[in-house]
Amino acid sequence: MSHTTSRRGLLFGTAAVSAGALLTACTSNDTKDDKTAANNQPAADDKPGKHVTIGFAGPQADHGWLNAINDNAKNRAKKYSDVSLEVTEGSNDTAQQIGQIETLINKKVDVLVVLPADGKALTQVGLKAMRAGIPVINLDRIFNSAQAYRCYIGGDNYGMGLNAGRYIGEKLKDKPNARVVELAGLDNLELTKQRTQGFDDALKNYPNIQKVARQAAEFTVESGQAKMAQLLQAQSKFDALWNHDDDQGVGALRAIQQAGRDDFLMVGGAGALSAFQAIKQDDGVLKATVLYPPTMAASAIDLARALGQAKGVGGLAEFEIPASITLYSAVVDKTNVDQYMSTGFR
């Protein structure tokens, strides 16, 4: 496995450094010549333009959020009469996903949107696509090399933690010796570490708040229930809880209900429909959730279409779409939940 990768690395690495970037830059500029002034022709424009075939490759949708990613991409593509979408069977197997993307390259799609099962492991195939003149929109899990994509769009895990910490901090800032508990996601993922780091950094601004406990669940309802039950037993009194993920939050809320506790405020993460509904009803501990919006997949389709039609992004002065977009992790609470309700995933 590593042997093949390194051989590929040798093959593509040098090629990509010299020619790859230049080549792709050229191809994307070539088609651009006939259309100018992105200012006047924004991508957000719904008017049909040049037909674009977009190849979409994502991981297996075994989690509510990933399922929402697929739905967002498909529905967005359906909206445009000038876009046809080629979706691969989702896979968590790196080798399989590489094969699927290579198939899309051979089919000569105009633009690729790739949410890698593992960003680092799929860098090479990203490079290959770019080398073949197919611009790549890298969705959420970033490739190792900026040469492997034309545009990156993804969520902000650190910012998610930061905003959760800020929201809780502001709610508790007048409370002396406030105690906070964290129910993290899968601990062997880098994104979990980033979320926790952001959360801790935000809480540092509030010297009256102390994080007294942290346990990691596994993004599943079952683990959320189990870990939350333990946390509740370990901490007989605390003021706020941040749960990284609304899917495991279903289990966490069940444990809270089973323990008969309602003496703290809870903030969720990701933006599931069930969380939005609970926030709107406002009859439980869940008061807010920090977004990690699956709508990024819809935006990726917009970007891919803009790229295929050589347009820029509406509302920005640039002729080109950006090289990198990091989404904002907005806090959704009772005041703005209606606005986000339609984006909630099941």
Partner 1 sequence: MTQPVSPPRDTAGKIPPVGRLTPWRALPARADVRTLSLLGVLAALVVIGGITKPDEFLDTRNLQLVLTQASVIGVVTVGMTFVITSGGIDLSVGAIVALASVWATTVATQEYGFAGILFTAMLVGLGCGLVNGLLIAYGGMVPFIATLAMLASARGLALQITDGRTQIVSIDSVLKLGERDSYVLGIPPLVLVFALVTIAGWLALNRTTFGRRSVAVGGNAEAARLAGIDVRRQRLYLYLLSGLCCGIAAFLLIVLSGSGQNTNGNLYELDAIAAAIIGGTLLSGGRGTITGSVLGVLIFTTITNIFALNNLQSDVQQIAKGAIIVAAVLVQRRTASTN
- Contacting positions for partner 1 (CB under 8 A): 60-64, 66-67, 187, 212-216, 218-227, 229-231, 233-234, 236, 247, 250-251, 254, 257-260, 274, 346
Distances (CA, A) of 109 to 122, 135, 305: 18, 10, 12
Tokens for 85?
A: 């979408």
Minimum distance, C-beta of residue 228 to partner 1, in the bound complex (Å): 10
Give the residue with the Cβ less far from partner 1, 85 or 216.
216
Minimum distance, C-beta of residue 156 to partner 1, in the bound complex (Å): 23
Q: Are strands 240-243 and 178-184 parallel, antiparallel or unpaired?
A: parallel
Give the residue with the Cβ less far from partner 1, 60 or 326.
60
Give the residue with the Cβ less far from partner 1, 40 or 233.
233
Q: Do 81 and 50 form a contact (C-beta atoms < 8 A)?
A: no
Minimum distance, C-beta of residue 319 to partner 1, in the bound complex (Å): 39
Q: How many CB atoms lie within 10 A of CB 121?
A: 18
Listed in sequence order, the residues at least 6 apart from 192 whose beta carbon sits closer than 8 Å to its beta carbon are 184, 185, 186, 216, 244
What does the alpha-carbon distance between residue 198 and residue 167 come to, in Å, rounded to a whole number? 12
Give the residue with the Cβ less far from partner 1, 146 or 259.
259
Give the residue with the Cβ less far from partner 1, 19 or 259.
259
Minimum distance, C-beta of residue 91 to partner 1, in the bound complex (Å): 12
DSSP 324: E
Minimum distance, C-beta of residue 272 to partner 1, in the bound complex (Å): 8
Minimum distance, C-beta of residue 268 to partner 1, in the bound complex (Å): 13
Give the residue with the Cβ less far from partner 1, 121 or 270.
270
Side chain identity, residue 182: E
In our burial notation (b when 16+ CB lie closer than 10 A, e otherwise), range 166-196 reads bbbbebbeeeeebbbbbbbbbeeeebbbbbb
Listed in sequence order, the residues at least 6 apart from 85 whose beta carbon sits closer than 8 Å to its beta carbon are 53, 54, 56, 73, 74, 77, 78, 301
Minimum distance, C-beta of residue 65 to partner 1, in the bound complex (Å): 9
What does the alpha-carbon distance between residue 22 and residue 209 come to, in Å, rounded to a whole number? 52
Half-sphere exposure of 38 (CA within 13 A, CB side): 21
End-to-end CA distance of the chain: 36
Minimum distance, C-beta of residue 300 to partner 1, in the bound complex (Å): 19
Residue in 122, 6, 120, 8 with CA at minimum distance from that of residue 57: 122
Give the residue with the Cβ less far from partner 1, 58 or 198.
58
Q: Do 169 and 200 form a contact (C-beta atoms < 8 A)?
A: no
Give the residue with the Cβ less far from partner 1, 182 or 333.
182
Give the residue with the Cβ less far from partner 1, 52 or 298.
298
Minimum distance, C-beta of residue 238 to partner 1, in the bound complex (Å): 12
DSSP 192: H
